[in-house]
Amino acid sequence: MNDMSLTNLHAGKTMISAAAIEALAGQQRGHVLNATDPAYDEARAIWNAMVDRRPALIVQCAGAADVINAVRFAAENELLVSVRGGGHNIAGNAICDGGLMIDLSPMKSVRVDVATKRAWVEPGATLADVDKETQAFRLALPTGINSTTGIAGLTLGGGFGWITRKLGLTIDSLLSADVVTANGELVRASPTEHRDLFWALRGGGGNFGVVTAFEFELHEFGPQVTAGLVVHPFADAQEVLQQYREVLESAPDELTCWAVMRQAPPLPFLPEEWHGKEILVLAMCYCGDPDVGEKATGGLRSIGNPIADVVGPSPFVGWQQAFDPLLTPGARNYWKSHDFMELSDTTIGILLDAVRQLPGPECEIFIAHVGGAAGRVAAEDTAFPQRSAHFVMNVHARWREPAMDQACIDWARRLFETAKPYAAGTAYINFMPEDEIDRVEAAYGGNYHRLVEVKRRYDPQNLFRMNQNVRPVEERGAA
């Protein structure tokens, strides 16, 4: 291996000797890759194909000791660092250009203790890994809706999905975390140890260190839920959304329903004449007693005159993977998001206008139904502040050809700006693209100042900056 020039924290270059790199590799159980290694391109590929960056070094970690060595190496040499868990984040912050990437994806262990209803999860695990291991014991952790998502990024940003209204956010089940801080020290953050760090990890993203293990409380759950899709013609969308809004006002915590608007994919249960036409889908999950699932979903299923209704008993693990085929890696993606306290008629009209201008067949708008148990935690109890929002909008621009970049991005931005006056002002950081740096402070609202103080304590040099970045006090306002 030759001497290498790596990007540093000062936007310059630092020459690292071959001997130093070989010494790092010799400490690791995992592998250290550079651009000449056959595995390099696969290791740097992530979910969002718009992101095509080339780290100088990729450290593929096999355990906490590897992470410690990698962090110390980066800190001592003041190198630009990125941290990859599942590689699913829309902003692509898992990959840095020219610096050192700490790759946690080999660390996939999920260990369940049935007696205490706890799970210890490594940061490379996906939601599918967690679901399969926990559901084997009829236990569950509330997570997201795409099973290929990494547990680490999802958790550190908050984490919500089909059973959040019943069981809270993912962070509400977090009991402790092992964290490698910017000085290369491994600490345990919990309600009794490094309490400020534990508070910040629950929603503050990857700003404060590298989590090498999560300890979660599990909940008795499953294995069956009542779930599925009800598909409506887009021509009926205004009436359907108005009735959807009314039904959800009295929905029990066990019931969650998300609305999705897009062109119909060639789903086997949809008549062929609907393929490629605009539709509105009510995607619902009732996680209570299966014997009352039919009645519990009845109010939503009685809305309008649907094209198809495929709601019924489903294994929870299967429902968690239902949207995976529409969210495969390899496409170009750009997202914009708002939180809403309510879906007003004006807001509905704005959404429908945007659907009429969809720039491509894979672009969509979804409205996530939240609240419930997640909304009964005080905003200041965790770093995640937007506990009172009832709906989360994600404008999901998705396409294949680079020539479509501008049209798709512009469409998402226009909808975002038009809807802004009716939004709550907060944002879910896991849905924020890389060009929303100026939005981070607003996203955290009243919790931002405390996050800055925790950042200053645990990462004063902002080593961990490849994220929706909370800057230390001395760097606030820096470029």
Give per-residue pLDDT as tens, 203-241: 999 999 999 999 999 999 989 999 999 999 999 999 999
Rounded Cα gap, residues 224 and 47, in angstroms: 29
User: pLDDT tens digit string along 72-102?
Assistant: 999 999 999 999 999 999 999 999 999 999 9
Q: What is the pLDDT of residue 202?
A: 98
Rounded Cα gap, residues 151 and 32, in angstroms: 23
Q: How many CA atoms lie within 13 A of 116 on its CB side?
A: 10
Segment 274-295 shows an average pLDDT of 95
Intra-chain end-to-end CA distance of the chain, in Å = 34
DSSP H helices, 138-266, are: 151-157, 164-167, 195-201, 237-248
Answer yes or no: same fold for 110-220 and 224-431.
no
Residue ranges of domains in the chain: 4-103, 110-220, 224-431
User: pLDDT tens digit string along 306-328?
Assistant: 999 999 999 999 999 999 999 99
Instruction: Decide if pLDDT at 1 tops 90.
Output: no
Instruction: Decide if pLDDT at 475 tops 70.
Output: no
One of 3.30.465.10, 1.10.30.50, 2.60.40.1180, 3.40.50.880 is the CATH number of 110-220, namely 3.30.465.10
**Topology of the domain comprising 4-103:** 3.30.43
Q: How many CA atoms lie within 13 A of 399 on its CB side?
A: 18
Rounded Cα gap, residues 378 and 374, in angstroms: 9
User: pLDDT tens digit string along 110-145?
Assistant: 999 999 999 999 999 999 999 999 999 999 999 999
User: Residue 389 — pLDDT band, cuts 50, 70, 90?
Assistant: confident
- CB atoms inside a 10 Å sphere around CB 244: 25
* Percentages (nearest 5) of helix, strand, coil residues in the chain: 35, 25, 40
Segment 24-39 shows an average pLDDT of 97
Q: What is the pLDDT of residue 477?
A: 43
Is the distance from CB of 66 to CB of 29 less than 8 angstroms? yes
| Mean pLDDT computed over every residue of the chain | 96
Percent of the chain with pLDDT over 70: 99
Instruction: Decide if pLDDT at 286 tops 70.
Output: yes
Q: What is the pLDDT of residue 203?
A: 98
Q: How many CA atoms lie within 13 A of 425 on its CB side?
A: 6
**Topology of the domain comprising 224-431:** Vanillyl-alcohol Oxidase; Chain A, domain 3 (3.40.462)
User: Residue 474 — pLDDT band, cuts 50, 70, 90?
Assistant: very low
User: Residue 434 — pLDDT band, cuts 50, 70, 90?
Assistant: very high
Q: What is the pLDDT of residue 473?
A: 75
